[in-house]
């Protein structure tokens, strides 16, 4: 199982939609077993699959060592696609006992996932649009990351902070940027070249060729609690996510194997 964190330092980048719909494409069209882990207290990934934000099956009891990770995994309506949901109680979980007294609590997500590595091809972790404890824990649990951005100045500027965060994590844990996904893309955007150049400065040669264009089908699918593949497989968004899935698999296949862990100090 390859574990991949979907991250952004700014909201509104379709990070959650990308994790959900890419996962659904891989499960439905490529017969890959996918586990989605919702580590965002907003629970948008869970809601996007029709799972209420009041579910008790979250990573909270797992991190507190009160439950096995298998007990919080929910099967979705999509074959091969499972999810560990989230709710608001995930916010501040690092302060709860016994995490609050554990200086290595940020490694608990990784340790929990190790026990089910043989059950899935990919684990996608959705994180909050911030660089706090939950995102840090996701990075320590992952071999790779997918950076999500939109062709807008503030989003691109935020990538520099995300780059610095990657570098900081890499001092102790090897994590490779698999690619930068651009959503809300407009082929005729007036400043496309400038934005792509700025992205390349932060993450050289990491921008994926497959870009997701703006499509209201994505929002409509969320209201129905399904992926765009299930809502409207002929839509522009569905076609874009299909192309992204193909490129993702190629990148994942060619990605370097995880380096040996560095010692914690």
Residue 32 domain flag: yes
Q: Mean pLDDT of all residues in the chain? A: 94
Q: Percent of the chain, pLDDT > 70? A: 97
Look up the CATH number of the domain holding residue 12: 3.40.50.300
| Total number of domains in the chain | 1
Structural domain contains residue 71: yes
**What is the dihedral angle through the alpha carbons of 101, 107, 113, 115, rounded to the nearest 10 degrees?**
-70
Q: Assess if residue 90 is contained within a domain.
A: yes
Tokens of 108: 């608990």
Give the mean model confidence (pLDDT) for residues 180-195: 91
pLDDT at 263 over 60: no
Domain membership of residue 261 (yes or no) is no
258 has pLDDT over 80: no
What does each C-alpha distance from 199 to 73, 158, 159, 243 come to in angstroms? 35, 10, 7, 21
Question: Which neighbouring-strand residues pair with 97?
Answer: none
């Amino acid at each position: 199982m390859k574990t991949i964190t979907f991250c952004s330092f700014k909201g509104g980048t379709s990070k959650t939609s990308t994790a959900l719909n890419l996962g659904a494409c891989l499960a439905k069209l490529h017969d890959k077993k996918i586990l989605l882990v919702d580590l965002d207290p907003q629970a948008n990934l869970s809601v996007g699959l029709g799972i209420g934000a009041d579910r008790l099956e979250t990573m909270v009891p797992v991190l507190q060592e009160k439950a096995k990770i298998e007990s919080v995994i929910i099967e979705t309506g999509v074959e091969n696609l499972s999810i560990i949901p989230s709710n608001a109680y995930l916010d501040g979980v690092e302060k709860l006992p016994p995490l609050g007294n554990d200086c290595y609590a940020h490694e608990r997500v990784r340790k929990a996932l190790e026990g089910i590595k043989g059950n899935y091809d990919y684990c996608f972790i959705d994180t909050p649009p911030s660089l706090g404890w939950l995102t840090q824990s996701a990075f320590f649990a992952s071999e790779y990351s997918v950076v999500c951005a939109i062709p807008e100045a503030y989003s691109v500027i935020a990538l520099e902070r995300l780059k610095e965060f990657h570098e900081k994590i890499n001092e102790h844990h090897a994590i490779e940027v698999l690619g930068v996904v651009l959503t809300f893309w407009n082929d005729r955007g007036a400043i496309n070249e400038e934005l792509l150049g700025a992205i390349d400065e932060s993450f050289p040669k990491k921008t994926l060729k497959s870009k997701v264009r703006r499509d209201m089908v994505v929002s409509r699918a969320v209201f129905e609690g399904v992926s765009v593949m299930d809502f409207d497989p002929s839509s522009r968004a569905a076609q874009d996510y299909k192309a992204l899935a193909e490129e993702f698999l190629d990148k994942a296949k060619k990605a370097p194997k995880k380096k040996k862990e560095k010692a914690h100090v």
